[in-house]
Structure 1
Amino acid sequence: MEKRQFVSDLHNKDEVESFFLVKYIAVMAGRDGRSYLNLVLADSSGDLEARRWSHAEESFKRVQKGSYVKVKGKINLYQSRFQLIVKDLVPIPADSVKPEDYLRQSQSDPERMFEELLTIADQMGDCYLRDLLQMVLMDAEIKRRLTLWPAGKSIHHAFTGGLLEHILSCARLAMLITPNYQEVNRDYVVAGAVLHDICKIYELSDGPVVEYTDEGRLVGHLVNGVQLLDRFISKMPHFPSQSKMHLEHILVSHHGSLEHGSTKPPQTREAQLVHFIDLIDSQMNSFQTAIENDRGNSDWTGYIKHLDRMLYKGKLRSISQPLELEGGDDEGGTPKVKAEGSPTHSMADQLKNFKV
């Protein structure tokens, strides 16, 4: 079955007849006490909230999370987000679709990202940390999962290859930021950037619908990260115990605070930097995703629950030339860019001979 309509192509009031992956499905009670079907549908271009106001129980019995469906309905704009009002919902066999049409993927080539990550690891000065990263990254199963896994279920980098994209971005930031702080050991920050989330390959499942594994719920990627260090460092004779301890501290503290899951707050400069680097990259991706998903005509998004705020969608522009007031220097004039052929020297030059 060929998919023709994708989420990213939809507009307000569009009639929809297409195939989707069911990422979430539940029967909810409306204000009037009547049941309705609450869904999140998806394809390779994004997610789409959906509601079915009738036949909720019947549809719920026929459709499961992770299944594929043919949907008929109409797009409605609700709180700056598109919502599909479902008229008909029919399950279809999984072997009748192309899986790549329903999986969001990183826009960057995974092999190139992985090679760049190896190059960054090769630049480390500490021979033990460099060898450790190379051993971890070249492990066949870790490499396979790293190129496929998302970094999260929904908040940031929640797509195929998202974990590798996030880790590489953090490693790049580590290389850029650390020269500004001479007292910080760059190698530990880079190692922390590469290793901090790598055990999400055990915390999250693969497949079209990402879920937390039992190991992810009961143990989590911070503890798994320490276990991974133990596994690889045990193969490296004479690995310094102090180096291992500081790496472990970076991993268990990178969420920043106890209420966010860290067993310890960052207590070294390197651990604090890794925490901030992780926060920068995850938050920037979360911002970008929220802005892209907002379909309202305003310069502002609707309220974003997980960020607890609205976001400004406009792009800030740089002004390369000084502004003049329309109609002279009178108060209330309108700024305008200097016309072609007018002086382009800086404001500092213009004010050089100014006297009070």
Structure 2
Amino acid sequence: MGKLNPHTSAKKLIHKLFRFKIPIKFNKKYSAFVLLFLFGILIFLIFNAKDSRDITITVGAGENKFKLNFDIPQEKQPKLDHLLDKLALPLSIKNGFEFELDATSSAALAFSLPVQSILDIEDNTIKFEGTFNPTSGKVLPKAVFRVPASTNFAIYAQNLQDFINQKLILPEEIANWLNKNLYANEGQIMVIFGKNAQFALITHANEVNFEDLKNIQISSTKEPIYKKDLIEEFQEVHLLKIPQNNGQKETTFALFQTGNWLFFTSSIEAATDLIKINKSQLPSLEFNPGNGQEITMAFLYQNSGEYPINEQFGKFLFGERVELVKFAEKISFGEFALKKDQFSGLINLK
């Protein structure tokens, strides 16, 4: 079993990928499948295949490490040898290799093993589907949304609370209110869109206590942080002006409710765009996670010429993980769906 030697830049990139701690803690098991999704990209880049012959990837565990094995068609061996040499990677990688994860992701992946995926590669498209050890992930309620045409990333998952808390600097009082109202029910949609990487978190909420927002006071400011307003003539919105501790300008978040859906957005502009889309006044696209099938998580990624990802998008989703941003820039489209014991995905490369 070959081991990656993290000295060359290409090797470091792979090493960092496999040590990547998934920032979105949808459920403990999901890191395994995001890992497989990312590795699918790497496999395509290495092979640059032009035929549709299947490549099989199997992930197994042993001696506190994970082992990734390939079933490589014989006719691709010479081309692969040349590319591995060009990338300064050992030829032993063809025999499989070992990798490690952080403790949380390691436990999640071990619990879901065995994982097996078949890759179907043709031109700049890679499709993959596979199976894993069934876990106790709950099936999400079916949901179909109109999202901005400029959407770069949309995800439907059990709980996005950890991710949002990690990305936003919120006073404890506001965080507590969100915990009681925004995250009360499982199943949330997050959308990242627009030139400034605006975001919206959408959740099913039967009862939302906006009255409590009026009484929240923050010790770091004497100014009221809450304001109720109307935008687009009839839509009631709840604005939260949050002071920042890093010397930056205060941030105004906007919340509004449409039917049984509660929207938490990064700005008034983001809220306005979503309200206009609901009225069919702005271009939009349909986000139908899992295409009507029962799922426990699904996401959509777009990086088109008209709406490319940018620095703000990379920082919001990946933080300082530059290697992941570089991978994302090479992808024009991607989708992934996780079911009870199966998963499937599609990647289009530029």
TM-score category, normalised to shorter length: under 0.3
Query: Hey, which of these two has a bigger chunk of helix by percent?
Result: 1
- Length-normalised TM-score, structure 2: 0.27
| Structure number with higher relative contact order (C-alpha < 8 Å, ≥ 6 residues apart) | 2
- Length-normalised TM-score, structure 1: 0.26
Query: Hey, which of these two has a bigger chunk of strand by percent?
Result: 2
Larger radius of gyration: 1
